[in-house]
Amino acid sequence: MAEAKRLAEKATGPLKGIRVLDLTSVVNGAYGVQILADQGADVIKLEDPGSGRGDGGDIMRWAGHVPEGAPRDMGPIFLTINRNKRSIVLDLKQESAKRALKRLIRTCDVFAASVRYDGLKRLGLAYEDVAAIKPDIIYAHAAGYGSDGPYAGEPAYDDLIQSASGMADILPRTDGDPTPRILPTLVADKVSGLFFAQAVTAALLHKARTGEGQFVEVPMLECVTSFLLVEHLYDHAFDPPIGQWGYQRVINPNRKPYRTKDGWIGLLPYTDKQWDLFFDAAGYGEAVKADPRFADYVTRARHVKELYGLIEQAAATKTTQEWLDILKPLSIPVVKTNGLADLDDDPHLKAVGFFETYAHPDVGAYRAIKPPVKFSKTPSNIRRHPPRLGEHTEEVLAEVSEGEEA
């Protein structure tokens, strides 16, 4: 077991001094807000008490397994996307809780929520309600669908958004099996979370320049479809369209890790020079180098399936290390293919300290993923463990004077 790392004593990131009231849950909003927290924001996660049957707070608290003896409300995904946050529990059916929340809102720069907007309205927490308390608030709503469209207000989860965005059509275009399939990662949630974090920081910049708060809507369907179509709009970028949907180099069944004699590699010659060097290293000779199908970028793109087939054939003739030793000095992009279980021992991830071990007072040892973005002047850090449900209720409410006007 790795030695436990000590928590940082104070925030040093670029968002130090920004306070976020966090009404997000599950993955999308929670991941986005954790990015803000890692970058220094004081994030107060507002959770509900639930029904009293051990189901309170963020549902991700209860997803997955926990070590024997650990609290059941500290599931592994919750641990991964809720550090640097303080948790408070308020029952907003109670008038005293509503008054406390009002006082808290006055101290916040950002109100972040992923609750459906109709639900926020019923709680008296629509943008107009919150802005009446704090006029310069940045009110960021992680929605499933944009409020101007017919899907507005409908429930949205990663599976649904992958299905609606066209994401489920990518594998069929790659392997010829017409069955739509979703990717086995929460790509819609995580992409939307990245959009969310960026949108909040942009709104904070506007506020710093003008003093104005605003309503910011971050709809999953639009964000994920936009993300997908960066390359896959392709020939439909023109009006009228001149060809296919889907970037043909990418929706190519031969675009994949390639089997070597003893493992797998990722390999992608890209420039004319790199292809010539690869053909030489692979022993293909002048005939392949002179093949008009592979003469330049445009013709290679038209014959990319055959081209990547040549990589597959060549890869099997040497070991992974042999290919790394041959191709890296030639500046041909190549990497050993890792399985999930290989990540612990990846030399680059080890060198940058990607995995960090901490000792949670209730959970015990757990691993955190180091904030990946590097700021030379204002580094992100980890200064709070993922919180127990309601752990900081008294602490946070004590920071808000009872004597203030409710």
**339 in Cβ contact with 345 (< 8 Å):** no
User: What is the model's pLDDT at position 404?
Assistant: 52
What's the CA gap between 205 and 218, in Å, rounded? 17
| Domain match, 34 and 181 both | yes
> Do 378 and 291 reside in the same domain of the chain?
no
* DSSP code, position 167: G
pLDDT band at 114 (very low <50, low <70, confident <90, very high): very high
* Cα distances (Å, whole numbers) of residue 210 to 108, 204, 214, 394: 17, 10, 11, 35
Residue 401 predicted with pLDDT over 80: no
Q: Which residues are bridge partners to 21 per DSSP? A: 44, 111
Check whether residue 146 and residue 55 sit in a common domain: yes
Query: Where does a domain end: 314, 336, 358?
Result: 336
Task: Give the CATH number, domain containing residue 200.
Answer: 3.40.50.10540
Across residues 104-110, what is the average pLDDT?
Answer: 98
Is the pLDDT reported for residue 302 higher than 70? Answer: yes
pTM of this structure:
0.94
Shared domain check, 294 and 193:
no
DSSP string, 297-317: HHHHHHTHHHHHHHHHHHHTT
CATH code for position 280: 3.30.1540.10
Residues 211, 305, single domain; the answer is: no
The answer to whether residue 153 sits within a structural domain is yes
Q: What is the mean pLDDT of residues 24-46?
A: 97
Residues 71 and 50 in one domain: yes
Is pLDDT at 157 greater than 50 in this prediction?
yes
Confidence of residue 398 (pLDDT cuts 50, 70, 90): very high
Q: What is the pLDDT of residue 359?
A: 96
Residue 10 lies in a domain: no
Question: How much is the pLDDT for 3?
Answer: 86
At 51, is the pLDDT very low, low, confident or very high (cuts 50, 70, 90)?
A: low
Q: Does residue 160 lie in a domain region?
A: yes
Same domain, 70 and 28: yes
How far is 168 from 15, CA to CA, in rounded Å? Answer: 36
**Same structural domain for residues 303 and 370?**
no
Average pLDDT for residues 172-190, to the nearest whole number? 97
What is the per-residue pLDDT across 238-263, written as a single tens digit (0 to 9) for each? 999 999 999 999 999 999 999 999 99
Residue 150 covered by a domain: yes
Clarify whether residues 316 and 358 are in a common domain: no
Q: Domain limits at 325?
A: 258-336
* Structure confidence by residue, pLDDT tens digits, 321-371: 999 999 999 999 999 999 999 999 999 999 999 999 999 999 999 999 999
Report which of 327, 385, 390, 379 is spatially closest to residue 89, judged by C-alpha positions: 390
The whole-number pLDDT of residue 52 equals 58
Residues 161 and 185 in one domain: yes
Q: Three-state SS for 85? A: strand
d(CA 24, CA 39): 18
Distance of CA 357 to the CA centre of its chain: 21
Where a domain ends, among 310, 336, 362? 336
Q: State the average pLDDT for the chain.
A: 95
Q: Which two tokens stand for residue 140?
A: 């960021």
Asked if the structure places residue 247 within a domain, the reply is: no
- Of the candidates 309, 336, 363, which is a domain's last residue? 336
Mean pLDDT confidence for 128-140: 98
Residue 171 counted as domain residue: yes
Q: Could you tell me if 149 and 224 lie in one domain?
A: yes
Give alpha helix (H) positions in 255-335. Answer: 272-281, 285-289, 297-302, 304-315, 320-327
Domain contains 234: no
Q: Are 331 and 377 contained in the same domain?
A: no
Q: How many domains does the chain have?
A: 2
Residue 251 covered by a domain: no
CB 39 within 8 A of CB 33: no
